[in-house]
Chains A and B, each alone.
Chain A
Amino acid sequence: MKKTKEFILRQIADEYLLIPTGQTCEEFNGMITLSETAAYIYEHLEEAESFEKLIEMITQEYEIDPKTAASDAYELLNGMLKNGLIGLSDPKVNW
């Protein structure tokens, strides 16, 4: 997976925010809020070479069982894909 938009991730108080910059300001007026895990996923998704690897990374970082992590991550990534925030970096393997 790769990020396709210019956002800067900021943490302020206990809020995680995606701040649009550059051309992305055209499409997103204002900020997007994320949960702590969603922010972790957004920050690290380019480091993971597969969905499984990403889940492994999440479960190492947070006390969460792999099944819940996978269903949360699946939902989040799908939402981000739908809204054009991320895109497939390797369409052959759907990742």
Chain B
Amino acid sequence: MDALDSALKIEERLVMKATLAHIPLGGTFELLPLCNMNCHMCFIRLSREEMDLRGSLRSVEEWLEIARQMKESGTLFVLLTGGEPFLYPGFLDLYQGLKKLGMIITINTNGTLITPQIAAALGKDKPRRVNITLYGASNQTYERLCHYPNGFDQTCKGIELLLEQKIDIKLNGTIVPENVHEIDALFEIAKHYGLYIKMDTYMYPSSRERLHPFHPESRLSPKEAAQAALKIKKHQMSQEEYTAYQNHMLNHPSLPNQDSSIQCRAGKSAFWINWYGDMTSCIFMKKPGINVFENGFEKSWKYLLENTSKIQLTGCLSCTKKSVCQVCAACMYCECGCFDQKPDYMCQYTDELIKQLEDMK
């Protein structure tokens, strides 16, 4: 059994045990809302002035103190994100401090600010992985979508610097109207670098931090999103896997699901802390939320556990497509603002997937 295989098995086992025992195994530090890019659909980014109106960034020492408390409670995996985490003052000090605590770290970044110095520092004491979001396959798309003209070239440079240091990279792509024509090109880039790319076509309509509401035109229509999703699947799956997927989607078991509790790890073994310290079960949900810097980690985790378990997702209870639908608590929360209504967009998206797969038969 190779090392990776066994590491994955250990991880799966840990996740299962932690979820059952309510151990906060994995957490995210959303270090700051600032970003050098400014993407249409972003729900976290604030300008410095907007940020100053809300509060100020927490220091490296404040985050490390929370991390020490997290360690006591059993946290092993920490995701560092933003905004753009490499803009966080003292990022490397925090990173190294977390490593010394025995945390396994992943970093989410847009990749444009990775310098040779940052890459070398990460290379000396490697993260488990760096996730780089690709917003397009050309500078033109970066300009239109992210208002950052040389973003594509800079991201490629960042990828190359990390690869030189033999750092594990995963590419993520969010497919939106501005880059939907570049799906093939995105796969080509991943292939060129020998990297795995995960692409999402469903966008949560969140406006979490921003002062304006979510713009519906910043995402694909359910029909376009389903088309794009199937195109992506064709890239990723062998013919056999695709046929199996098609059969699964078309012959979906029709028993309505009676379990209305949250099905994922959110608030059971996973948590999220935003830049001003509100700890929630998932990036998209503002409630239940509690300030971890004011209440300490243990108390905050208990609060989250107790209140997340009260959430009942009743909106989809009678639906017979639940086994083929990717609806989750955050989707309901973002689409409807509550948990007892059907999220229309997701219903249409699921129907479209089924319809398009049927048409292909």
Partner of B74, one of A13, A21, A30: A13
Please tell me if B102 contacts chain A, counting CB pairs below 8 Å. Answer: yes
Main secondary structure on B side of the interface with A: helix
A31 within 8 A of B: yes
Using known A-B contacts A12-B23, A28-B3, determine if residue A22 contacts B125 with beta carbons closer than 8 Å.
yes
Indicate whether A37 reaches chain B with its CB closer than 8 angstroms: no
Determine if A94 is an interface residue (Cβ-Cβ < 8 Å).
Answer: no
Closest to A8 in B: B102
The interface residues of chain B lying within 8 Å CB-to-CB of A19 are: 76, 102-104
Q: B270 in the interface, Cβ–Cβ < 8 Å?
A: no
Within 8 A of B (CB), among A6-21: 8-10, 12-15, 17, 19, 21
Q: Is A64's beta carbon under 8 Å from chain B?
A: no
Task: Evaluate contact between B10 and A30: CB separation under 8 angstroms.
Answer: yes
Which of B183-199 touch A at CB < 8 Å?
none
A32 smallest CB distance to B (angstroms) = 9
A side interface size, CB within 8 A: 19
Taking CB atoms, residues of chain A closer than 8 Å to B17 are 12-15
Q: Which residue of A lies closest to B103 (CB)?
A: A19
Q: Which residues of A contact B76 (CB under 8 A)?
A: 10, 12, 17, 19
Q: Per a CB cutoff under 8 Å, which of B3, B6, B23, B71 touches A13?
A: B23
A63 at the interface (CB under 8 A from B): no
The digit string for B13-28, where 1 denotes a CB below 8 A from any CB of A, is 1100110010101000
- Judged by a CB distance under 8 angstroms, whether B124 is at the interface is yes
Which residues in B have their C-beta under 8 angstroms from that of A29? 3-4, 7
| Whole-angstrom distance between the Cβ of B211 and the nearest chain A Cβ | 40
Task: Write the chain A residue with the least CB distance to B21.
Answer: A13
Is the pair A13, B14 in contact by a Cβ cutoff of 8 Å? yes
Classify chain B's interface size.
Answer: 20 to 34
User: In this complex, what residue of B is CB-closest to A25?
Assistant: B126
**Cα of A14 to Cα of B74 in the assembled complex, Å:** 11
Q: Do A12 and B7 contact each other (CB < 8 Å), given the known contacts A21-B102, A21-B125?
A: no
Min distance, Cβ A79 to any Cβ of chain B, angstroms: 15
**B361 at interface by CB-CB < 8 Å:** no
Chain A residue numbers with a CB within 8 Å of B124 are 22-23
Please give, as numbers and ranges, the residues of chain B lying within 8 Å of A21 by CB-CB distance: 99-100, 102, 125
* A23 vs B14: C-alpha distance when bound (angstroms): 25
For chain B residues 44-71, which have a beta carbon within 8 Å of chain A? 71
In angstroms, Cα B3 to Cα A17, docked, is 14
Task: Output the least CB separation between B331 and chain A (Å).
Answer: 30
How far, in Å, is B288 (CB) from chain A's closest CB?
24
Shortest distance between the CB of A20 and any CB in chain B (Å): 9
- In contact, B23 and A31 (Cβ under 8 angstroms): no
- Chain A residues with CB under 8 Å of chain B are 8-10, 12-15, 17, 19, 21-23, 25-26, 28-31, 33
- 12 A-B pairs besides A28-B3, A29-B7 with CB distance below 8 A are A12-B17, A12-B74, A14-B17, A15-B10, A17-B10, A22-B99, A29-B3, A30-B4, A30-B6, A30-B11, A31-B10, A33-B10
A-B contact pairs, 27 of them (CB 8 A): A8-B100, A10-B71, A10-B76, A12-B14, A12-B18, A12-B25, A12-B74, A12-B76, A13-B21, A15-B10, A15-B14, A17-B10, A17-B14, A19-B102, A21-B102, A21-B125, A22-B124, A22-B125, A23-B124, A23-B125, A25-B125, A28-B3, A29-B7, A30-B4, A30-B6, A30-B7, A30-B10
